[in-house]
């Protein structure tokens, strides 16, 4: 496998969309190619970074009560 072939699969690897066999083949290339290795690592860190920064959990307690209230109402009106 060369760099071009490895980079073509880059985002599939980051998104965990490759089979174990494909992954091993790609990893073998990365072991011998520092440039590709740092690129793959970078994109993995980038994805984790974005998901962690944007995934701050929000307070859904009030919303839950509103939904429960509306569910009760809809059941009441359907009778």
Site residues (vs other proteins, CB under 8 A): 7, 11, 15-17, 38-39, 42-43, 45-47, 49-51, 53-58, 60, 63-64, 66-68, 70-72, 74-76, 79
Per-position DSSP letters for 6-74, written without gaps between them: HHHTHHHHHTT-S-HHHHHHHHHHHHH-HHHHHHHHHHHHHHHHHHHHH-PPP--HHHHHHHHHHHHHH
State which residue, 5 or 42, has the beta carbon closest to other proteins. 42
State which residue, 32 or 75, has the beta carbon closest to other proteins. 75
Distance CA 37, CA 40 (A): 5
**Nearest 5°: phi and psi at 54?**
-95, -10
| Least distance (Å) between residue 39 CB and other proteins | 6
| Least distance (Å) between residue 25 CB and other proteins | 20
| Least distance (Å) between residue 63 CB and other proteins | 6
């Amino acid at each position: 496998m060369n760099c071009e072939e490895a980079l073509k699969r880059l985002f599939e690897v980051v998104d965990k969309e490759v089979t174990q066999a494909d992954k091993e083949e790609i990893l073998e290339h990365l072991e011998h190619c520092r440039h590709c290795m740092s690129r793959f690592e970078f994109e993995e860190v980038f994805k984790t970074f974005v998901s962690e920064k944007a995934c701050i959990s929000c307070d859904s307690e009030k919303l839950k009560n509103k939904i429960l209230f509306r569910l009760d109402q809809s059941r009441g009106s359907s009778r």
